[in-house]
A and B are shown apart, each in its own frame.
Chain A
């Protein structure tokens, strides 16, 4: 079974800007999946909710999911590879300081 875009039906593209796709069913190791017109073989079994690279992502580049940056690659990621804590990290730096003093006022 395939999606309209030819991808395996177990793959979901959330936004057009994304460079990762999401598995919407668990897929065992060795399974062949069609993604973006190419065939890839799953190196390891992965559960629903995990991400695969939709294209090669060089180390340092932003990972985009839901059309939004969700972190950056910490290693070169090849097409179809599992994208997770081993090859990406959070880029989150609060837009505010943790110890930002807040001037509380009295009264209810």
Chain B
């Protein structure tokens, strides 16, 4: 059983984080300085997130609301310069309405860098004390939301870590957890296969449409598909390459299609569509893995499983990231950053099933409080940029 943190809005978290959120890049330094003295805390529980843009953006509003009231977050301090267009008062009201301590500091109003940093640190100190009294309650695996992503992939990713994470997803879905996979741009060629796994034909069509949108985006940006390097690695077709990434999803029926900030309404497997709607407007759908991890977390992910062949070292603000290393040579070199050695499958030392179980057990241990290596090393990456989405339709979440 997971000993979770109960929030006043009824949601349950597996970490008890204070977020310091800058509302424009001009407040980033002050936010970082506020969090700095708390860096060495064993709990690694003061995290900086933020949105750099000065112009308004509905997606950024929605993401920041989702993240500052994430179940792993207990309190949020917002840092505004004062003249950016982000609705800081609205965000503060949203945080407070969720029952979490929330405050807005405005650098231009509060006397500049030095005094805002000082006041911010005092506020965080007090919030940490308050959060010590957070009620602890039992949380079942069927209340967990788990995300998955791959990055720094190589020929081994689709052979070991991704299919093993797929096995872990199947086991977690069986336990009733909500599991989210993503990157429609890397699932081109799998759309019909995914549609066949959808719980309704209408959802299946929505999935096909989401991949079409991803294809159109990447095509416009002149980026995508299969490369010469892939063929050297034994990958013959685009379907095959996509299947390697798709293996992360396991074999459960697909229960819904989400966009960033949508919370899965119940257990099951969900696809996250992170490609913006409409014309290509703000550049690449995601500029790096960290942006995608932030979107999984905005969908309520308590924990994220990350498969890597070449060896990514990133973690994340707010939710722990579990590193599943696909390549045994990478594991030997970066063992300190990796949580699971899936490359043993290549050496005949473990089966996909065994590594799948190990990943599932690790997810549950991390939910029970065990720190991942990226948490222990202080990784708290965060990245958000401009995007634009239409709300999902009723076909995306069949009853």
Contact = CB atoms under 8 A, between A and B. Distances in A.
Interface of A: 1, 3-4, 9, 12, 14, 22-25, 46-51, 65-71, 83-85, 88-92, 94-96, 98, 100, 102, 104-105, 108
Contacts of B155: 47-49
A5 B211 CA distance: 37
A68 B193 contact: yes
Contact of B215 (A22, A94, A104): A94
A62 B243 CA distance: 15
Interface residues of B, number: 48
B233 A95 contact: no
Given A22-B234, A68-B193, A92-B238, 9 more contacts: A25-B346, A47-B234, A48-B234, A49-B155, A84-B234, A88-B237, A92-B237, A95-B192, A104-B279
B388 A48 contact: no
17 contacts: A12-B159, A12-B345, A14-B247, A46-B234, A48-B156, A50-B234, A51-B236, A67-B251, A71-B240, A85-B231, A90-B189, A90-B238, A95-B208, A95-B212, A96-B208, A96-B215, A98-B215
Contact of B278 (A9, A23, A24, A104): A104
Contacts of A68: 190, 193, 239, 243, 246
B313 interface: no
The SS class assigned to the B binding surface is helix
Given A25-B346, A66-B163, A100-B216, A92 B239 contact: yes
Nearest to B349: A9
A95 to B, nearest CB: 5
B394 interface: no
A96 B206 CA distance: 12
Interface of B: 56-59, 155-156, 158-159, 163, 188-193, 195, 208-209, 211-213, 215-216, 219, 231-240, 243-244, 246-247, 251, 278-279, 345-346, 348, 351-352, 388, 390
Which 4 pairs of residues, A with B, have the shortest CB-CB distance? Answer: A49-B234, A49-B155, A96-B212, A50-B234
A85 B226 CA distance: 12
A69 B28 CA distance: 48
A83 B240 CA distance: 12
Contacts of B234: 22-23, 46-51, 84
Which residue, A50, A65, A70, has most C-beta atoms of chain B within 10 A? A70
B165 to A, nearest CB: 13
Contact of B233 (A25, A47, A66, A85): A47
A106 B244 CA distance: 36
A72 to B, nearest CB: 9
Contacts of A3: 348
Contacts of B192: 95
B239 A91 contact: yes
Contact of A108 (B58, B193, B345): B58
Contacts of B211: 95-96
Contacts of A25: 346
A108 B56 contact: yes
A39 to B, nearest CB: 18
A70 B209 contact: no
A28 to B, nearest CB: 16
A56 B244 CA distance: 24
B349 to A, nearest CB: 10
Contacts of B163: 14, 66
Contacts of A4: 351
A68 B247 CA distance: 10
B388 A108 contact: yes
Nearest to B208: A95
Nearest to B280: A104
A66 B58 CA distance: 39
Contacts of B390: 105
Contacts of B279: 102, 104
A92 B231 CA distance: 16
A30 B51 CA distance: 58
A1 B234 CA distance: 23
B345 A24 contact: yes
B216 A49 contact: no
A70 B159 contact: no
Nearest to A4: B351
A96 B237 CA distance: 19
